[in-house]
Structure 1
Amino acid sequence: MAVLNEEQEMLRDMAREWAANESPVTEFRKVRASGAPEAFDRAAYAAMTEMGWAGIVIPEEHGGSDFGFLSAGLVVEELGKTLTATPIVMNTIAASAIVLGGNDEQKAAWLPRLASGAAIGTLAIDEGAKHDPAAIATQVTDGKLSGTKAFVPEAHGADLFVVAAKDGLYLVEKGDGVSLTTRNLTDQRSHADLTFDGAKAQKLANGGESLLDDVLDRARVLVAAEMLGMAQAVFETTLDYLKQRVQFNQVLATFQALQHRMADMFADLAQMRSAVEAGLQAIDSGFGIARAATVAKAEANRVMHKLSNEGIQLHGGIGMTDEYDVGFYLKRSRVLEATWGSTSYLRDRFAAIGGY
């Protein structure tokens, strides 16, 4: 595990306590049942922003705490454990894009609002069913952006879109020239297809040619941190179930074959944690980010896929019913596995980074 300083330990403990007490899975059930397109609780998000979680990677001069990505990952992991429906991951990535590529005016205009919760940001990158940054066709002419984006997360509640075009990343406000069509995915969170028709756009011109890759690497690692929290919750929930469920007059946890499966899950979870924390630390250090981010997301995909499957199997068929929470983790994991790179995409990218 990563070595945390005192402030990071306090931040993690605060997030853990808040998520357990104020945002358990029952709160996600309420959000899901409401059917609201935003698919998150505004009051809960306001509480998060009051605790400073939306501004963890934002510099102090713009209203943030500048605690770094490891600190942000600690919060996201705890929220992932309870499936908290929140735009905080996408908002953090949108803020990081502005920190990396924005000019002074853009930073002053948006970072304080993203940190305080006055505005919410998200990424609009892909244009097809699969993640492929090389296939971007969106164009900007005379400051007007036109194109389409598919499966944009947190689109319904967003005020600002960080949009990938052929020649870089642009800031586009929700409003004229922006329309969205709801996508109902299995995790029942906010997703939409966006159409930009001459929307006013400002380029993030200071990040260099690697800006898109740099932002996506940060997105991959932070999504992997959410998956880490989910995987931990699936493991603990499944273990508790095996300790309680009686079959053939014996508690399931006493069967050696099931003990072996749980031991394998525990080992995979430890490996996943190592990869995710290495990715977060690489971003903060500025060294080896692309490689570490690729490994973190690929390992998160692999382990979360396995643990979510095992969680369902060890619960039996009831695991997919609404009575039990474990099925919600599987559904969310399938969406996150495809977000910012499937396992096959990431393996190809790792090979390319290594020159293979």
Structure 2
Amino acid sequence: MRFALSAEQRQFAESLTGLLSAADVATVARRWAGGEHEPGLKLWRRLAEVGVTALAVPEHRDGLGAGAVELVVAFERLGYHGVPGPWTDTAAALPALLDDELLAGVAAGETLASLRWDPHVPHALDADVADTRIAVDGTDLRVFTPGRSLSGVDGSRRLFEAVPGDVIASCPDPGRAFDQAALATAAQLLGAGRWLLDRSVDYARQRVQYGRTIGEFQAVKHLLADVATRLELAGPLVYGAAVALDAGGDVPRDVSAARVAAADAAYLAARTGLQVHGAIGYTAEHPLGLWLAKVRALTGTWGTQAFHRSRVLTALRAGSVR
């Protein structure tokens, strides 16, 4: 498959890059981690104005009715810039879970959602700031009440126990919502991995050791080249899974393959970034730590690596590879 973004999709990505580059997202994320939501909500509304929250919402609910490719374009930018908030729950999963008038609020950027989906999402993300809280129980959708706040690897991902309540709706086929959320997570991981690579390359060009920038040393070049290769290989899998999701191909296989590749590449980028930065990468003040924590957290949500590898293996054993 040969895949290239259209001019409109590239323009959309560039507009998000311009908006987020000027937003000091690292500060927003730190304040979000401390429970100060207003800067993050302001950024949420700005992203809603350019259509991010409306992408997956159908047109009859005032959304854009865009495809999974556009969703991946947006979530890769969100991951690259480390934007906090329940983006996957709200903008990727919820529009595929139910067709309800509340989606108009999602599209407008006025409604934030938090989901619990055992066993893959056992704790609710940002339930304290969410307007809509839903626990997926098989095909039943239940409201839930936020319980105890939990500590996690990534402080900007605020997790809560969820106490399920009454059934409010049903979703005969929640698989699409799960795959769309897993794909959005893969796109975020891909973006985060690319940010880590970019920052590591920049640092290697500036840090001087033994009278030379460390980027001149062959060992450092090899480390960074390995990361670049893994990310370049993961990218087509992520976008290919988006095409499959829109076309109705072998979606679970393709989404899981993309998720595994993106998470592995992002984890390698995180590990290598820490090696290249050395001791400064351990400091709380350095922004590297925000992305290291985000990669670690995202790798374990919307399905573990073991789960997604198992789905790929099951598809291969069933002879679904064409």
Q: Which residue of 1 aligns with 2:108?
A: 116
Q: Which residue of 2 aligns with 1:202?
A: 168
Q: Where do 4+ consecutive residues of structure 1 move more than 4 Å?
A: 37-40
How many residue pairs get aligned? The number is 316
Q: 1:40 to 1:89 in 2, by over 3 A?
A: farther
The equivalent position to 2:130 in structure 1, one of 158, 182, 203, is 158
Q: Which residue of 1 aligns with 2:256?
A: 294
Q: Which residue of 1 aligns with 2:31?
A: 30
Q: Is the 8 A contact 1:58 1:65 kept in 2?
A: yes
Deviations 1:274-310, CA, capped at 9 Å, x for gaps: 1111112211222121111010111112111111011
Question: What is the deviation of 1:2?
Answer: 3.7
Question: What is the deviation of 1:171?
Answer: 4.8
Distance 1:289 1:151 in 2: 25
Question: What is the deviation of 1:183?
Answer: 1.2
Q: 1:37 to 1:345 in 2, by over 3 A?
A: farther
Deviations 1:92-121, CA, capped at 9 Å, x for gaps: 2333333xxx4xxxx342211111122212
SS at 1:22 equivalent: coil
Letter in 1 for 2:162: L
Equivalent residues in 2 for 1:92-131, closer than 5 Å: 92-98=91-97, 102=98, 107-126=99-118, 131=120
SS at 1:277 equivalent: helix
SS at 2:123 equivalent: strand
Q: Is the 8 A contact 1:39 1:85 kept in 2?
A: no
Q: Is the 8 A contact 2:93 2:180 kept in 1?
A: no
Q: Which residue of 2 aligns with 1:86?
A: 85
Question: What is the deviation of 1:59?
Answer: 1.5
Q: 1:117 to 1:111 in 2, by over 3 A?
A: same
Deviations 1:180-213, CA, capped at 9 Å, x for gaps: 21112121122111112xx2322224x3xxx233
Q: Which residue of 2 aligns with 1:20?
A: 21
Q: Percent identity?
A: 23
Where does the alignment leave 5 or more consecutive residues of structure 1 unmatched? 132-148
Question: What is the deviation of 1:38?
Answer: 5.5
1:248 counterpart = 2:215: no
Q: Is the 8 A contact 1:40 1:85 kept in 2?
A: no
Letter in 2 for 1:247: Q
Distance 1:81 1:12 in 2: 11
Equivalent residues in 2 for 1:222-301, closer than 5 Å: 222-301=184-263
Letter in 1 for 2:45: A
Distance 1:96 1:242 in 2: 42
Q: 1:37 to 1:297 in 2, by over 3 A?
A: farther
Q: Is the 8 A contact 1:63 1:115 kept in 2?
A: yes
TM-score, L = length of structure 2? 0.91
Q: Is the 8 A contact 2:115 2:134 kept in 1?
A: yes
Distance 1:299 1:96 in 2: 26
Q: Output the aligned Cα RMSD.
A: 2.0
Q: Which residue of 2 aligns with 1:65?
A: 64
Q: Is the 8 A contact 2:28 2:39 kept in 1?
A: no
Equivalent residues in 2 for 1:332-343, closer than 5 Å: 332-343=294-305
Distance 1:169 1:16 in 2: 38
Question: What is the deviation of 1:214?
Answer: 2.4
Q: Is the 8 A contact 2:146 2:160 kept in 1?
A: no
Question: What is the deviation of 1:265?
Answer: 1.1
